[in-house]
A = this chain, B = another copy of it.
Amino acid sequence: MAATAFSDVASIDRREEVLAAAAECFMRRGYEATSMDDVAEALGATKGRVYHHFRSKPELFFEVYRRAMAILVNGAAAAEEGGGSAAERLERVSRIHVLSMMETQTFQRSLTLGADLYRFGNAGVHKAVLEELMDIRRSYEDVFRRLFAEGNADGSLGPLDPSLAMRTVLGALNWVAIWYSPQPGETRAHRERLAEDIATQVLGGYLAG
C-alpha cells in the first residue's frame, strides 16, 4: 500500500511535468500556435506521453487554466484571513496576486488566453467548460469588487465604482505577468519587495484621502 501510494505520487509528478511544460509553451506561443509536439519536445518526449495524461489539447489547456486560478484563489483566501480594514486586506491580496504573477507566470499567462478563447470561442472547444472557467474567474474578481465595496463602507477606501476600480487595479496587477522577466540571481525577497512596491503604487489612488 505504501508502495502503491508512492507510485501514485510519482505518477502525479509525471503528470505535473506535462502540465508545467504545457504552461510554458502556451505562454511562449499562445494556445493555437502551441502544438502537442511542442509540449512533448519541451519534455524531451513524444506526443504519446502527453496524450497519455490528457485527452486532448483543450483539456490540457483547461487544466493549466484551472491550476492558475486555484493558485490565485488560495492566495487570496490566505491573504484575507488576517483581518483588518478593507484597505489592508486589499493590499495583502494584491501583493500575493502580483507575487503569483511573477512566480507562476507561465500558468498565469494562460488566464488571458482563456478569456480570449471564451470571447469568441469557435466550435470545437466545449462552451460549457469555458463557461465554468469564466465563473471561477468572475468569482475571483468578485473578491476585489467586494473589498472595494467594503472599503467604501468602512471608510478605508475613497468613494469609487467597485467594478471599475476592480478592472483598473487588476489590469495593472495582471500586466505584471506580461512584462515581468525573472532576473538571474533574483531571490524571493526581491520579488516580495517588488510586489509590495507595485501594490502600494497601484492602490495609492484608491485610498481614502
Contacts and interface: CB of A to CB of B under 8 A. Distances in A.
Interface stretch (A5-13, A29-37, A43-51, A79-87): A29-37
A119 interface: yes
A170 interface: yes
A112 interface: yes
A34 to B, nearest CB: 9
A201 B198 CA distance: 16
Contact of A164 (B30, B32, B167, B201): B201
Contact of A115 (B115, B164, B178): B178
A65 to B, nearest CB: 15
A31 B28 contact: no
6 contacts: A161-B197, A165-B201, A171-B172, A171-B174, A203-B205, A205-B205
